[in-house]
Homo-oligomer: A and B are copies of this chain.
């Protein structure tokens, strides 16, 4: 989705084809580690999170199947945050050298990586807008819309239903509110017949109404132009 599928295949083929399976709460990389390379999330949910000295935890990004968990950090010396699996997850590892090699030799893929990084940044900015300017209800509605929209672009959403394996506590850490308040906010949305979460699946009963409730617009996902920047390049 961020990368065109041919691009991903290329990357996947190029990388050592090691695939690792992670369990629901397992950490993939830790704050303080030196970044080892890039991983492509093949299935499941993962996240970036940060833990403050006093234990507070904030999830700062969610990874969905097809996402690259760090097209970049390999440039920095030390991870300033951690990455962990939220559900059972499969990840393909692409080592640092391969990436560096690819960056040098395949301008199309390099551009694709840029593009994908830009979209990640746009999502991060919107996340700031959510926690900074939206109410709890709006944030939750917005997040659900985003998840649905992103999963939809990779064919993992159908008829208003998609995976959403986070516990309410994890949702709370993503939204920047407490678990208790998460529960109540979710009940509110359910009472309005907008969404239900059951067995790790999210049911959107009225996407448009939910988008309105969350002041959601797809603009920042830049879905319009998928891969356009490199399609026009070097055939």
Residues on A facing B (Cβ under 8 Å)? 48, 50, 52-54, 56-58, 60-61, 72-73, 75-78, 80-81, 104, 107, 111, 114-115, 117-122, 124-129, 131-134, 175-176, 215, 219-220, 222, 224-225, 228-229
CA–CA, A176 to B60, complex, Å?
16
Q: Are B52 and A215 in contact (CB under 8 A)?
A: yes
CA–CA, A176 to B128, complex, Å?
9
Can you add 18 more A-B contacts, CB < 8 Å, to A52-B129, A78-B224, A128-B128?
A48-B125, A50-B126, A60-B129, A61-B125, A72-B114, A72-B118, A75-B118, A76-B119, A76-B122, A77-B225, A78-B219, A80-B125, A80-B219, A81-B125, A104-B107, A124-B124, A127-B128, A131-B131
Question: Of B52, B127, B128, B132, which one neighbours A133 at CB under 8 angstroms?
Answer: B52
- Please judge, given known A-B contacts A56-B133, A215-B52, whether A75 and B229 are in contact too, CB under 8 Å: yes
